[in-house]
Structure 1
Amino acid sequence: MALDPQAKFLLEQMEALGAPAMHTLTPEEARLTTDFSALAGEPEEVGKVEDRKIPGPEGEIPVRIYTPKGEGPFPALVYYHGGGWVIGNLETVEVPCRMLANRANCVVVSVDYRLAPEHKFPAAADDSYAAAKWVVENAASIKVNPQQIAVGGDSAGGNLAAVVALMAREKKEISLAYQMLIYPVTNHSYATESYTENADGYLLTKDSMIWFWNHYLRTEEDGKNSYASPLQAKDLSGLPPALVLTGEFDPLRDEGEAYAQRLKEAGVQVEAARYDGMIHGYFWMPGALEQGKKAIEQAANALLQAFQGSVAAK
């Protein structure tokens, strides 16, 4: 397929700005200069938005809680932003989180987990799990039904959502209804066809991913840990149903699709879709990319169905 015309226009605009490549920056510089909020569009009204701090393994974790209009109790989505475990924050995903809260009629708890390289693996994963556990244990106080809790995220956040699902299965402390994985990082490897085809020129580059992984991992050995590379988990059975969305012109395309396939083979119910013509990051850009808007609609519909299914199963 050809590059989506809106994505092509966006890439041309970015190239014209002449910003330095991500992998040439320090983490601090990257955090200051990387801002996609203008591409998200106007934030929708939701019933209530509240910033809180919740207990984490190494201090408090900031979260932002989006509650739809109505009485509740509502289902909940615990959402982890992307940004290669190094950049990104609650503002980055403000618009998608509001859209998901309204369309899936669920509380969205957006998690500001610790970032690398100040906090290397497994800090982000530990914070992410702690946040999901907090939502389950404090469900009533935020108008949430503890039987209807999903995890989700994009890119490195998709990685964290997949990892939290693995942790929940192994620790047996909480039960999750669903996992929503948007172009997730699933493997510490650059050997796929999509890495070769999309190494440069489509927003997320191979060099940027190497930079992200190098900041996140303590050692090469960490990259083989299933809590860093869920695709390397020996067994994916018994995990919650999943939505896996990928983009055609994304280095992460093949590892996301490989994870969806492995989940299916393990007997997990999976809805998988590749967005043709799309670059990495489209879920953040519903204001500039029509397919970004469609992806959020698809994710919200998948959540609605999953939450209805989880009620029927009880």
Structure 2
Amino acid sequence: MAGDKKQKGAHLMAGGTMVRVGVLVLLMAAALYRPLPEKMTKSTIDKVAMHIIEPVLRLSYYYPSRLCPNAYCMMWWTRGTLTTLSRLIGPLFDWDSNLLMETTQWDGVKVRVYHPRNNSTESDGAIIFIHGGGFVLGNTEMYESMTRTMAKMMSTRLFVSIDYRLAPETIFPGGLEDCEKVLEYVIDNGPSMYGVDPRKIVVMGDSAGGNLVAAITQRRRARASEPKILGQVLLYPLLQMSDLQTYSYRYFRREMDGLAVVDPLSVAYYYLWYAGVDVNAHPEFAEAATTNGHVSDEARRSRDQYMDYDVLPASFRDDANGTDLPQPVQPSKELMDYVAPFLTNPDFAPLMQPDLSDLPAALIATCEFDVLRDEGSIYAHRLKEAGVPTQWTHYENGFHAMLNFHNELEIARESLADIKEWTMKLLREAKVE
């Protein structure tokens, strides 16, 4: 009888513990809940997944990074947390039945190399991928899940992911030059090492990687380098720093501020670091840049030549998408003077390139819920106007960096399929001489 009472008491205690844990989980969920924009993602499963993913990101890196005493602390916390999270959702083993993989160095630059085990491919071309992260975050390990998936989807002789040097340790143009070294290595050695046709190379990158792709193609054209790059894929690219108060930036501040997605202040910190600005010592510079306080009158006039907002779809400019007034400018003369040569330099800000003719065929992908939406759209329009074969794909339910969640989100898998279709079609139909 006594044993029965003890067992009953134990069940009651266990039941009480479960109730308390359940209540605690519900209270934490309620505290962390933030409504997401109604149209962000489209399927019910994706919406449920985003209501898990976004709070996890907010709790793990966004909130702690905002508690940091300085910008260096914020950067290191974000780097470490995102790398750890990417490993948790990425491949468990460094082996794949379809691919041979290795991490090595080409001309002093670390690369992650993928090529098919049986060397049976749809194309003898190569794809070079440049990861994003605002020039400050990211590495081949963080992108392993995404690049391995892409390498399997795209049937080419070679797929390379570049681990270029990051700011603030290496400032502009160090990372850009690393990527160019890898490209030249593939052109020179790809034929003998992997059977690559150097006339069939597609370079692609997301976010800051898209910036580097655009800069590389422009620089090769300026040097009349041969062979020409066959194609470029820019995925929600970061292309300019002259206007951090575009419609898409303003929409973010009004509707998405505080969510763990790419935000104006982070863009300002990272881009300024890339330019060599010590935002750790001067965090006020980043704050000023979010209001365009870093843009002189001369730089603004130059920007206005290349950023015509009238070419944007009406839906980007209507009341639902942030036509509220820009933030009051907080000018910083010291910052203006320092960044002036960068803002108009196409190597740093490819959207500021006066001449976009004779560039490789392009796929530009933009997302509705992304501060970088407008500049990617304008670049696609300008490429078309310059006679470059360009496909602009806009994801009305998409958000910045969504491809990193291709295992979790249907919309990301669909966009990967779009990228594969465009890229493989370009390689199949390539007319080389």
TM-score (norm 2): 0.67
2:237 maps to 184
1:234 and 2:354 correspond: yes
Q: 1:85 aligns with which of 126, 132, 135?
A: 135
Q: Cα deviations across residues 213-247 of structure 1 (Å, max 9, x unaligned)? A: 11101341213210111110000000001111111
Q: Residue type of the partner of 1:117?
A: P
1:64 maps to 112
Q: Cα deviations across residues 55-98 of structure 1 (Å, max 9, x unaligned)? A: 1xxxx100111102433672111111111111100012212212
Name structure 1 gaps, 5 residues minimum: none
1:99 maps to 149
* CA drift at 1:23: 9.8
Q: 2:126 aligns with which of 58, 64, 76?
A: 76
Name whichever of 240-249 and 216-225 sits farther off. 216-225
Contact 2:55 2:260 in 1 (8 A): no
The 1:272–1:304 alpha-carbon spacing in structure 2 relative to 1, beyond 3 Å, is: same
Cα distance in 1 for partners of 2:383, 2:161 equals 25
* Structure with the bigger percentage of helix: 2
1:135 and 2:186 correspond: yes
2:216 maps to 164
2:177 maps to 126
Q: Cα deviations across residues 139-180 of structure 1 (Å, max 9, x unaligned)? A: 121331111101111101111111111111112223100001
* CA drift at 1:15: 3.1
Q: Cα deviations across residues 178-221 of structure 1 (Å, max 9, x unaligned)? A: 00111010111312100111142251000100011111013412
Q: Pairwise CA RMSD of aligned residues?
A: 2.1
Q: Residue type of the partner of 1:180?
A: V
* CA drift at 1:16: 4.4
2:40 maps to 3
1:266 and 2:266 correspond: no
Contact 1:46 1:66 in 2 (8 A): no
* Structure with the bigger percentage of strand: 1
The higher radius of gyration belongs to 2
TM-score (norm 1): 0.91
2:12 maps to none
Name structure 2 gaps, 5 residues minimum: 1-37, 42-46, 277-337
Of all paired residues, the percent bearing the same amino acid is 30
Q: Residue type of the partner of 1:187?
A: Q
The 1:38–1:286 alpha-carbon spacing in structure 2 relative to 1, beyond 3 Å, is: farther
1:19 and 2:63 correspond: yes
1:49 and 2:86 correspond: no
1:108 maps to 159
Matches within 5 A, 1:153-302: 153-174=205-226, 175-188=228-241, 189-199=243-253, 200=257, 201=259, 203-218=261-276, 219-220=338-339, 221-302=341-422
Cα distance in 2 for partners of 1:19, 1:91 equals 24
Q: Cα deviations across residues 245-301 of structure 1 (Å, max 9, x unaligned)? A: 111111011111111111111111111111122221111110121111111111111
SS in 2 for 1:276: strand
Cα distance in 2 for partners of 1:23, 1:116 equals 22
* CA drift at 1:22: 6.5
Q: How many aligned positions are there?
A: 309
Cα distance in 2 for partners of 1:178, 1:209 equals 27
